[in-house]
């Protein structure tokens, strides 16, 4: 398969994935049926750009255009939102590649770049452009602008924080023992049960999910920590969409939701990255010790041969 055909297939795949996940995300929309606190397409878009390069950006634009046209919005608003939803992932890709981001997310630097450059920084573009489009189209009044922008920014940033690490670090093969597979499965199941409970309970026990997230990050790094973070964030957003997460105003709810999901994503990302760095440092030390032992053994053998050559074999 030549490069051009591969690129075309990737563009089509990204467009389909964007459109399909947009439909899923819009089920949780909190504003005008089109502003959601968890926008999966941004996470997919940033991951696709990092894995395939900027040449696949038309897939993002096509998917964003199709998703917004289906909402029967004003043509000008559709165009503005499409531009914003395309520019934000491209800005995230540029900032991440510009500062040496590694897809393995095995350094603290990579985790911090994804959080502050890829998610919180770049996604301000789509939030600002999208909110302006809704205001120009007459869909929202002036006093709703802060809340709408907060929801939009929350959705796009959470899409990057939660789903980009999940896609980038998804294990291509798993050679772990049955015992570790059972442990990983248990972590995911318990996390799902806890998340569904604490995000709907009136007891406000949200902190109970963090031990599971820490366990996943320490034992399996991103391979299990990223799915755990996704499970927790989806549960929190579903709770917010149903009105159970917080009884406060929309803006206050978004602040609480952003803080909670951001804390979850940060915990998983940073702890996994630090653990990966520690494991790599330990492996490097072990390799250095093995090389030193081999070198010492080689010099000892050479020394023995030299002494034998000088004095002859023992009689």
For 152-304, where are the E strands, in sequence order? Answer: none
Residue 172 pLDDT level (bands cut at 50, 70, 90):
low
Which tokens go with 1? 């398969």
Q: In what helix (H) or strand (E) does residue 255 lie, and over which residues does it extend?
A: helix 250-311
35: β partners: 31
List, in sequence order, the alpha helices (H) in 53-107.
57-69, 75-98
Q: Is the pLDDT of residue 50 over 90?
A: yes
Q: In what helix (H) or strand (E) does residue 305 lie, and over which residues does it extend?
A: helix 250-311
Residue 1 pLDDT level (bands cut at 50, 70, 90):
low
pLDDT of residue 71: 72
Q: Is the pLDDT of residue 38 over 90?
A: no
Mean pLDDT of 263-284: 90
Using DSSP's 3-state secondary structure scheme, residue 31 falls into strand
- For the four alpha carbons of 108, 113, 115 and 116, in that order, the dihedral sign comes to positive
Q: Is the pLDDT of residue 33 over 60?
A: no
Lowest mean pLDDT, pick from 135-149, 175-189, 192-206, 215-229: 135-149
How far, in Å, CA of 267 to CA of 73, rounded?
Answer: 38
- pTM reported for the whole predicted model: 0.84
98 within 8 A of 127, measured Cβ to Cβ: no
254 within 8 A of 150, measured Cβ to Cβ: yes
Q: Is the pLDDT of residue 269 over 80?
A: yes
Give burial (CB, 10 Å; 0-12/13-18/19+) of 149.
Answer: buried
pLDDT of residue 146: 83
Query: How many CB atoms are closer than 10 A to CB 216?
Result: 27
Tokens 């049926």 sit on residue:
33
Which tokens go with 144? 């709703």
- Give the residue with greater pLDDT, 257 vs 288: 288
- pLDDT tens sequence across 106-134: 888 999 999 999 998 999 999 999 989 88
Q: Is the pLDDT of residue 256 over 60?
A: yes
Query: How many CB atoms are closer than 10 A to CB 83?
Result: 18
* HSE-up of residue 72 (Cα within 13 Å, Cβ side): 2
Most confident of 84-88, 130-134, 175-179, 219-223: 84-88
Query: How many CB atoms are closer than 10 A to CB 215?
Result: 18
pLDDT of residue 203: 79
- For the four alpha carbons of 55, 156, 168 and 20, in that order, the dihedral sign comes to negative
Mean pLDDT of 234-245: 80
How far, in Å, CA of 252 to CA of 10, rounded?
Answer: 39
**DSSP states of 275-297:** HHHHHHHHHHHHHHHHHHHHHHH
How far, in Å, CA of 34 to CA of 12, rounded?
Answer: 23
């Amino acid at each position: 398969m030549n490069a051009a055909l591969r690129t075309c297939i990737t563009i089509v795949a990204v467009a389909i994935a964007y459109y399909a996940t947009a439909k899923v995300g819009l089920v949780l929309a909190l504003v005008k049926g089109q502003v959601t606190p968890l926008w999966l397409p941004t996470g997919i878009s940033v991951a696709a750009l990092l894995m395939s390069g900027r040449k696949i950006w038309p897939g993002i634009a096509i998917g964003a255009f199709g998703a917004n046209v289906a909402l029967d919005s004003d043509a000008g608003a559709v165009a503005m939102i499409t531009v914003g939803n395309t520019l934000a992932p491209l800005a995230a890709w540029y900032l991440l590649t510009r500062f040496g981001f590694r897809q393995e997310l095995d350094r603290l630097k990579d985790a911090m770049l994804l959080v502050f450059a890829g998610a919180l920084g770049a996604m301000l573009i789509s939030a600002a452009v999208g909110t302006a489009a809704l205001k120009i189209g007459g869909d929202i009044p002036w006093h709703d602008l802060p809340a709408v922008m907060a929801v939009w920014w929350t959705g796009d940033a959470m899409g990057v924080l939660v789903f980009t690490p999940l896609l980038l670090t998804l294990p291509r093969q798993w050679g772990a023992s049955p015992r570790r597979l059972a442990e990983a499965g248990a972590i995911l199941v318990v996390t799902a049960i806890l998340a569904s409970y604490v995000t709907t309970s009136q007891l406000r026990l949200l902190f109970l999910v963090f031990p599971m997230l820490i366990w996943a990050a320490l034992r399996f790094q991103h391979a299990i920590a990223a799915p755990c973070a996704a499970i927790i964030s989806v549960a929190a957003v579903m709770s917010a969409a149903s009105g159970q997460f917080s009884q406060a105003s929309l803006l206050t709810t978004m602040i609480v939701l952003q803080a909670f999901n951001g804390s979850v994503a940060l915990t998983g990302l940073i702890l996994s990255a630090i653990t990966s760095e520690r494991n790599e440092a330990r492996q490097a030390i072990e390799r250095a010790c093995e090389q030193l032992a081999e070198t010492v053994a080689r010099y000892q053998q050479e020394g023995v041969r030299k002494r034998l050559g000088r004095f002859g074999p023992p009689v």
